[in-house]
Every structure is written in structure tokens, then in C-alpha cells.
Amino acid sequence: MEFRQLGKTNLKVSLLCLGTMSFGEQNTEKEAHEQLDCAIDAGINFIDTAEMYAIPPKETTCGLTEKYIGTWIKKYQQRDKYIIATKVAGPGMDYVRGGSRLSKKHVEEAIDHSLKKLQTDYIDLYQVHWPERKSNYFGRLGYEYSAEDDGISIGETMDALSDAIEAGKIRYIGVSNETPWGVMEYLKLASKKNQPRIVSVQNPYSLLNRIYEVGLAEISHRENVGLLAYSPLGFGMLTGKYEKSAPPDSRLGLYGDWFTRYSNDMCKKATSEYIKIAKKFDISPTHLALAFVNTRPFLTSNIIGATTLEQLRENIESVNIKLTDEMMEEVEKIHELIPNPAP
């Protein structure tokens, strides 16, 4: 397993990170623990979760993912052997903290709740799950400004995160579903107020969504704030299992209405072309998609998720797949024809 430096920290995270959003919805506590054991045994030292998981978000399953990871941490111990990342929910969830926001009070409360659920004394990487302001995330295209949409300032959120680092509750901070402006604003405020810098950006990135390459990739390089890529398989589209129809027990089969960005006609067309490339070079579509993300120079870690151990093992095997120049040329041809069908 390859390891990469997390921002300017002294932490080395595995090239693959275990995503856990299915824990508590599609996966039982026992299955969650089996996945965690499998990942650790394979050399993965990086685990990502969020206070509002499982997915899709529901009041009845909110917090279950952290809870399941917490019971595993209590059982596994050896807390210094792995890196835990979680997230504070942005606005819009009425059943989270009585209406989730990113104010100092809310952030402090969220951190304390996560520490308790995770049964740990500290969180290695604490991320803002999505911005307080209305902006371009979760597939939203086009930007229209309204002062009423700004909400809690990034400065207030930063104050809360800085205080939590000083208190020893969290070690480092990152953002998620952010724009180039948002990332630079966090960095600017950190410099201006002598506060800790963000060390990562967790945004979607896959063969179906390479928007990160426009603006954010350069920031990752110049500011040493790498990408934690989520949905590298496009919610499972790029595995090829949806080529004919969505299996009833699959994510798109169960929750397709939540994630229509991955099931539009252009996504299906692009996916079909990428599957042809995989077949041509005799590798699995999953390996093609994940190995492509693994090659990105702005990537810190690729967040893989699975509902079965078989899927997880196939995902992990992607670290051993090397894409040839010919394969990459074929990929770029499809991207030029059908760019970013799932932004």
C-alpha cells in the first residue's frame, strides 16, 4: 500500500481510504467491523465517516456509522495505528443538533458528539461536510449570489475549529464539497488570524466527474492541500453493474431518487464507453475507474466504499493496477467527447 502525506502535517495516509457511509443502512454493525478489519489487514490506515451518516440521510440512522466505528475502535484499540476522519454537517438537517449550522456553538457540539460516538479522545481529521453558504456543490450548476445565502461566516467556523485543535479534541482540519473560492478563503483566514490551515479537500472525483481539475487541482498543488476523492466509482455506475438495469438491492436500485446525477443518459453513455476500454485491456471496469483516480498528482487519498467484502477486496486490489499510456489515451478520448456528465 502506498502512503501519501496529508497536507503539511506529519501524517501519512494510505492511498486508499475506507468510506463508511453504508454502515447502519446497507451494512450491519458486524459487517461494518468485518470491513474495517479487512481494510486494516490490507494496509489501509485511513477511515472516513461523518456525523450524519448513514446514507441516504434519515433521522433513524443518523449517527449509526460513527457508533459502529466507535464499537470497533473500542474492540480493536491501537488508536495510533489508524487515522479517523469525520465531518460536521452544514445547514439543512433539521434533526441534527436541532437544525444543523456551522456556528461556533454547533461545531463544538458536533465535535463532542462525534468523540462520544467514536469512543476516542481525539479526531485526526475534522472536516466541514458542506458550506454554510449556498454555492455549487452536490451537483448544483450555475451560481447566483444572494447576500441572504451567506449564513454563518467561514471565520466563525474557523474560530471553533481552531479552539478544538488547541483543546486537543481534533488534530487537523479539512473541507468538503468546496469551491476554489471557499478553499482559498479558509487558507487566507488561517494566514491572517494565525490559525491552523486546512490540509485536505474532500470533493467528488471520478471518470464521470473531473470538475476538480478546473481551479482546485492547481490549488492542491500550490497550497499543498490534496484531494480526498469521494464517489470514485460514480455511486457504483463505473463498476458496470448498472449497464442493463439497477439491481434491486444496489445503491441506485434502492436510493436512485437521491442520486440522479449519476444515472442520467450522458452518464450511461460515458460509462458504456469506459467499460469498453476495460474489456479491451482485459481489466475490470472497477479497476480502470479506481486506478485512474489513483494516478492523479493532486490526489492524497481515494475513498472507496463497498457493501460486501468481495467488493471491498476488488476495490483494494486497484492499488496494484497500472494503467498504460495507451489506456490513458483511450480514457482521455472519451472524456473529450463526454466531459463531466455527473458534475
Catalytic (active-site) positions: 53
Q: How big is the CA angle at 131 (ends 127 and 136), to the nearest 5 degrees?
A: 125
Is residue 152 within a helix (H) or strand (E), and if so which, with residue range?
none
Q: How far apart are CA 149 and CA 135, in angstroms?
A: 9
Residues found in the chain: 343
CA distances from 145 to 148, 150, 179, 291 (A): 9, 9, 14, 38
Q: How far apart are CA 50 and CA 38, in angstroms?
A: 20
Task: Give backbone dihedrals phi and psi of 221, rounded to 5 degrees, phi first.
Answer: -70, -50
* Cα Rg, the chain, nearest whole Å: 19
Q: How far apart are CA 102 and CA 118, in angstroms?
A: 21
Q: How far apart are CA 102 and CA 94, in angstroms?
A: 13
